[in-house]
Amino acid sequence: MSEELKRRIVELEKELEAIKKESCEGRRGREKIEQMSSEVVDANPYSRLMALKRMGIVDNYEQIREFAVAVVGVGGVGSVAAEMLTRCGIGKLLLFDYDKVELANMNRLFYQPHQAGLSKVEAAARTLVSINPDVTIECHNYNITTVDNFDHFMGRIRSGSLTDGPVDLVLSCVDNFEARMAINTACNELGQTWFESGVAENAVSGHIQLVIPGELACFACAPPLIVASGIDEKTLKRDGVCAASLPTTMGVVSGLLVQNTLKYLLKFGNVTHYLGYSSLQDFFPTMSMKPNPSCDDSYCRHQSGGRDGTGEPEKELVQGVRLAYSRDEPAPPPPTVDAPAAADTSDQTSLDDLRAQMMAL
């Protein structure tokens, strides 16, 4: 090895070490602003957000600075969601990811080529703080599915807010079922509200789902077939074959996720329980699912009791799909208005049928 090459290696190692020593706060692009203002001046980054109060959309937009949101998975959806929340002035973001930025990620939004090689949480934090230094950023560069990391992850969800209490919301933006199940388990045990999100491997469809333990179905209540069958998803991946990825679909899903996050936190509008997106037909199906009394997750069953106030499994009719749990009672009377035979929902739909419909979105 030539002396010139050795010298260059030493220089690069020093540069890398300097980057690693930088805190997650990154470089500030402006001074912190102590209080949000509705003053309409070019130097006020919050004026257009505060206008939501004047227009009667939000009662107290300043409250957003009190909220802490955990974003698990800072990839194509999570990084964009984190940026949107940062620009909206969220109080605190907790970022969880163990991956590094790669040039293969450049077909997506947010990351830039010069960040290749950095951990995603480091790169994201530096960018986010440069956008809005008022936001507190907490980084965790690890895989939440390992035993030790899972315990730490639960601890941060339990006490990661600005007041050392539970975070206000968890956003699942991961790309594998193992991590989703880990988030599901943690949130069920803690009684933590969270949003699940995802983009299909064909890159043209996605979804978001609100999970409120005890009130709405968790990820294990009606899981994808691969989870229900106990298949190791790692066996499904083939060398040299990767999932498709479009920044457009990921941007749409991120926008839907954050829009509903804001509605949930600031209490305006209607928060959707499940919202799908199929770009091929510009189709946005919605539905709502109650907890499955036979859910495999014991904490889910404990949170919901498995039964409603009448002592019977709870049901709900959503967009013509009846979540059917066995119940000995007469079928409801037919609708009084004329309807085509295809719209008849008097027959209950099994969970397997419901899974198939959701997988087809």
pLDDT 10s digits, 10-35: 888 877 776 665 544 445 468 899 89
Structure tokens at 139: 């980084």
Distance of CA 12 to the CA centre of its chain: 36
Residues acting as catalytic residues: 242
**How far apart (Å, rounded) are the C-alpha atoms in residues 169 and 304?**
19
Torsion of CA 142, 70, 271, 228, to 10 degrees: 30
Q: Is the pLDDT of residue 119 over 70?
A: yes
Who has greater pLDDT, 157 or 11? 157
Torsion of CA 240, 228, 212, 165, to 10 degrees: -60
What is the SS3 assignment for 117? coil
Q: Is the pLDDT of residue 354 over 60?
A: no
Q: Is the pLDDT of residue 324 over 80?
A: no
**How far apart (Å, rounded) are the C-alpha atoms in residues 34 and 39?**
14
* Other beta carbons less than 10 A from residue 27's beta carbon: 10
Least confident of 22-26, 240-244, 303-307: 22-26
Task: Give whichever of 39-48, 164-173, 196-205 has the largest mean pLDDT.
Answer: 164-173
Mean pLDDT, range 218-239, rounded to an integer: 65
pLDDT band at 99 (very low <50, low <70, confident <90, very high): very high
Q: Is the pLDDT of residue 335 over 80?
A: no
Q: Is the pLDDT of residue 73 over 90?
A: yes
What is the SS3 assignment for 133? coil
Given a contact cutoff of 8 angstroms between Cβ atoms, the answer to whether 118 and 105 are in contact is no
Q: What are the two backbone dihedrals, phi and then psi, of residue 354, each rounded to the nearest 5 degrees?
A: -65, -45
Task: Give whichever of 16-30, 196-210, 225-239 has the largest mean pLDDT.
Answer: 196-210
**How far apart (Å, rounded) are the C-alpha atoms in residues 119 and 157?**
21
* Domains along the sequence of the chain with CATH: 14-286 (3.40.50.720)
Given a contact cutoff of 8 angstroms between Cβ atoms, the answer to whether 82 and 71 are in contact is yes
Who has greater pLDDT, 23 or 83? 83
Mean pLDDT, range 152-174, rounded to an integer: 97
Which candidate, 119, 135, 53, 120, places its Cα nearest to that of 87? 135
Who has greater pLDDT, 101 or 228? 101
Which candidate, 169, 204, 201, places its Cα nearest to that of 276? 204
154: left (phi over 0), alpha (psi -120 to 50) or beta: alpha
Least confident of 6-15, 41-50, 117-126: 6-15
Given a contact cutoff of 8 angstroms between Cβ atoms, the answer to whether 188 and 297 are in contact is yes
Mean pLDDT, range 296-315, rounded to an integer: 65
pLDDT 10s digits, 259-280: 999 999 999 999 999 999 999 9
Concatenated DSSP letters for 196-252? EEEE-TTSSEEEEEEE-TTTS--TTTS--HHHHTT--GGGG--TT------HHHHHH
Check residue 319 and give its pLDDT. Answer: 33
Check residue 6 and give its pLDDT. Answer: 81
pLDDT band at 359 (very low <50, low <70, confident <90, very high): low
Check residue 182 and give its pLDDT. Answer: 96
**How far apart (Å, rounded) are the C-alpha atoms in residues 219 and 216?**
10
What's the chain's average pLDDT?
82
**How far apart (Å, rounded) are the C-alpha atoms in residues 137 and 129?**
8
Provide, rounded to the nearest whole percent, the portion of the chain with pLDDT above 90.
62
The residues, ordered by sequence, that sit 6+ positions from 127 with a Cβ below 8 Å of its Cβ are 26, 83, 110, 115
Check residue 3 and give its pLDDT. Answer: 82
**How far apart (Å, rounded) are the C-alpha atoms in residues 59 and 56?**
7
Q: Is the pLDDT of residue 45 over 70?
A: yes
Check residue 12 and give its pLDDT. Answer: 85
**How far apart (Å, rounded) are the C-alpha atoms in residues 220 and 275?**
18
pLDDT band at 245 (very low <50, low <70, confident <90, very high): confident
**How far apart (Å, rounded) are the C-alpha atoms in residues 340 and 346?**
13
Check residue 7 and give its pLDDT. Answer: 83
